[in-house]
Structure formats: structure tokens, C-alpha cells
Amino acid sequence: MESFVEIKEVDTIVGIAEQLHSLLVDCINSGASVGFLTPVVRQEVTAYWAVVESGLKLRERKLFIAYDGNRIVGTVQLSLCSKPNGAHRGEVEKLMVDTDVRGKGISKKLMSSMESAAVEMGLSLLVLDTRLGDIASSLYRAMGYSEAGQIPQFARSSSGELESTVYFFKLLPC
């Protein structure tokens, strides 16, 4: 059964930073491959969201948030390429859903909203990577992403073990 959530694109994290912090820590502690190791240090998470805020202000990044009422239950980001030869593409980053509400279609709603915005911006290519074997791979394939390849020992898991990553891409309608 799909949860009722509203997806909003936001241009600042002011006023929601603490909820975003909690969501990221929840995902890290559940073993999600989102770039952090456990135990996570509060300053690392705070510094990360400060970088996101900077990217939003510079219009280098888009942030999409899933709300269940006033509660943030998920996010996804679209990082925009600043190189002149890459203005047509974006990188999908940090698809996160609170562990309490996973399996209810929130990831798909977030991705769909982000993709619609990418099309409106004139982007024609999205790329992303995820840990080999993650359930997210099934979502990406179901949403029309194609596997481009794998890299062994690419990143450390939240527990510190080296793991492979899988790169995906999706061509968007022009």
C-alpha cells in the first residue's frame, strides 16, 4: 500500500535542517550507502547539509523532499553539471527514505518528481551510482535506468568494508 506523501522541491534547508539531519543519520545507521561511516559524527552530518545548502543557493543542486504531513520521510537530490559540455546532464544523489516508511512507494515518487523537474530544465541524461546488490538497483531498473558498469572496491560501506558500485544512466525525453 502506498503512503500518502507530498513531494516538494525546496530551495533552502532553513527550518528543516534538524529533520534532514535525523533522516540522514537513520539511513546511515540502517546501512545505507550514502557516503558516511558509522558511528556517524554530528559535525560531519551538519557540515554535509551546509554543503547542500550552499549548492542550493548557487543553483548547482536541486533538493526534493517527501513530506508525510509536516514530517520529512525522504529526499533525493539532483546535482547539476557546471561544465559547459555537461549542461545537459545531472547526477542523482542521496535517495533516502526513513526506515519506518520504506516499501510504500516513496522512493518512486521522489524519483519521478526529480525526473520531471530535470525534463523541465532541459536535461537529457541522468546518472547515478549505488552499491552493488542494493535494493535500489531494482527501483532504478524499474524506472528505466540502464546499467553502465560496475567498479569493484569503490567505496566503504557504513561499517567500513570495501564494496563495489554500479553506475546507471537514463536518457530523458528532449
Would you state the pLDDT for residue 10? 98
Which CATH number is 6-123's, of 1.10.645.10, 3.40.50.2300, 3.40.50.300, 3.40.630.30? 3.40.630.30
Would you state the pLDDT for residue 3? 56
Pairing label, strands 71-80, 61-68: antiparallel
Helices (H) and strands (E) in the chain, counts: 4, 7
Cell, residue 57: 543557493
* pLDDT, tens digit, 9 for 90 and up, residues 107-129: 999 999 999 999 999 999 999 99
CB burial of residue 81 (10 Å; 0-12, 13-18, 19+): middle
Show me where the domains of the chain are located. 6-123
Give the residue ranges of the chain where pLDDT is below 70.
1-3
The pTM of this model reads 0.95
